[in-house]
Amino acid sequence: MTTTKKEIMVNAWKIAREGQKAFGGKVREYFAQALKMAWAQAKNEIDIEALEKKGFNRWTKGNMDRLYFSLEKSGALELDYYKSGNLRSADLEGERISNAEACRLLAVKCFIDLKNGNKLVVQYGREEAQDVVRELAEKAMR
């Protein structure tokens, strides 16, 4: 999702009017700062559709809105299973890893918190596994 200069200017004037309503004075007095804020908002925007194609799944509930990162959907982790459902083999970015390591990576939860400044959050699992998943998620975000 790209933001045009026109959309940024419209947003800047909207922010300036909100500042004028809250603090008084003239709208143009707030415009310079409002323009900086509008550009910052435009830079922080995330193309959700593109990220969903790269292995992220959107989840919303109540006041939460998140994009969870899936190692399998991203193509970074390839898993092969036996008919019983047990893990047969695992490859991380084309390199063979142990089944135990694959399970550790799958246990890590990683998401982008869309309600709190598009912050990348990594939870659970060992620190080494968290680092690997964080790196792969950041790579997918580019």
Indicate if 61 and 84 belong to the same structural domain: yes
Q: Using DSSP bridges, classify how beta strands 87-92 and 109-113 pair: parallel, antiparallel or unpaired.
A: unpaired
Tell me how far apart the terminal alpha carbons of the chain are, to the nearest angstrom.
14
Indicate if 16 and 77 belong to the same structural domain: no
**pLDDT per residue as tens digits for the range 47-82:** 778 888 888 998 988 888 899 999 999 999 999 999
Tokens 């659970």 locate to 124
Indicate if 30 and 54 belong to the same structural domain: no
Contact criterion met (CB below 8 Å) for 93 and 78:
no
Strands (E), 62-103: 64-69, 77-81, 87-92, 95-97
3-state secondary structure at position 55 = coil
Euclidean distance between CA atoms 137 and 124, whole angstroms:
15
Indicate if 62 and 82 belong to the same structural domain: yes
Indicate if 18 and 84 belong to the same structural domain: no
83 is in which domain, residue-wise?
A: 48-141
pTM of the model as a whole: 0.68
Number of domains in the chain: 2
- Predicted pLDDT of residue 2: 56
- Predicted pLDDT of residue 8: 85
Query: Is residue 86 over pLDDT 90?
Result: yes
3-state secondary structure at position 4 = coil
Indicate if 88 and 131 belong to the same structural domain: yes
